[in-house]
Structure 1
Amino acid sequence: MIQLGKPPVQEVSIELISESSLGTSPSDIHKAAYSGQLYFMNGTWYIKYIEQEEEGQTNATVKVKEDEIVVIRNGLVSMRQSYRPGIKTSGSYVSLAGEMSMDTDTRDIRLHYDEEGYLTAAVWVYDLHLNEQNIGRYTVQCRLTRLSCNTY
């Protein structure tokens, strides 16, 4: 997918948009922007960034393949969750509020690439249950913009 001669690690700006809905309630939309890195290794795209909060920081990694997205967060929030269409997956979510079991039923994954073959967006849709309670359906968009490298 990536031709030789390209930098292995790309600096990227990351826009995360999470939309959740439960029943007939209006959707709740959360947007966040980060700076991070994108690289491709052994058939998997890796997106790495740091979520900075007043209470501390969380190191986040999103592993993206055609049929699976894995979100790993360590720090103020800790979690590891796999999203695979048609497969229910389990994990845990640990924050200052405590630990919860996390189950997801992934409905869809869509990946987008630019003309050079670099990942530009990953979108995944899933139903979320925390501690066996239905929290709602989530649509997460992770949009990536590669930053130009200035050489002097």
Structure 2
Amino acid sequence: MKVMSQPLKKRVNIRLLSTISHPDVEKEMFDIQTTGELILKGAQPYLVYEEVQDEKNSRTTVKLGGKTALIMRSGGVKMRLPFTSGELQTGSYDTIYGVIMITTNTKHLHFEDGHFQVEYELLINDEVAGTYTLELIYTEAN
């Protein structure tokens, strides 16, 4: 009988910095402080936290990596954003009208312990809908 090892969980303080640039619109910047969990499944780290957008709660899970990463949201917002450095990846965004297929064009992806950064273009129907920079800085909570 094989015993599955339990994932290692740590409470963390998270600072989420994001910049959104849409064509012909002034840049939007967000600086959010929250708490969440850093979960290690084997050697794979995940960051899990709750977000509130437009009065809807969403659970966000970020699969952290240096060459590939994945952001998944569930709850008020449902989406799947995959990232691979220098490659186009297909993701999805659930709307009240159905699921929209979206594409990420990852320009920069960097991960080291406590710091994750991704810069990407979001494409809908091969049109650039916006350029996004997301930075997650996390430290162990007391």
Pairing 1:51-130 to 2, within 5 Å after superposition:
51-52=51-52, 55-96=55-96, 99-112=99-112, 119-130=113-124
Deviation at 1:9, TM superposition (A): 1.3
The letter of the residue matching 1:57 is N
Cα pair 1:15 1:31 within 8 Å, conserved: yes
Query: Following the alignment from structure 2 to structure 1, what is the Cα–Cα distance between the partners of residues 96 and 36?
Result: 25
Q: Which runs of 5+ in 1 are unaligned?
A: 1-6, 113-118
Number of the residue aligned with 1:115: none
* Residue identity opposite 1:44 in structure 2: Q
CA contact (8 A) 2:23 2:129 kept: no
Letter in 1 for 2:29: I
| 1:25 positional shift | 5.5
Find the residue that maps to 1:65 and give its secondary structure: coil
Q: Secondary structure in 2 aligned to 1:31?
A: strand
Aligned CA RMSD, in angstroms, stands at: 2.3
Match of 1:4 in 2: none
Q: Which runs of 5+ in 2 are unaligned?
A: 1-6
The reply on whether 1:133 has 2:127 as its aligned counterpart is yes
Q: Distance in 2 between matches of 1:94 and 1:9?
A: 29
Deviation, 1:99, is 3.6
- State the secondary structure of the residue aligned to 2:86: coil
Q: Which position in structure 1 is the counterpart of 2:15?
A: 15
Q: If the length of structure 2 is used for normalisation, what is the TM-score?
A: 0.82
CA positional deviation for 1:54: 6.6
* Letter paired with 2:66: E
TM-score by length of 1: 0.77
Whole-Å separation in 2 of the counterparts to 1:120 and 1:106: 20
1:17 aligned partner, one-letter code: L
Is 2:65–2:110's contact at 8 Å kept on the other side of the alignment? no
More deviation in 90-99 or 101-110? 90-99
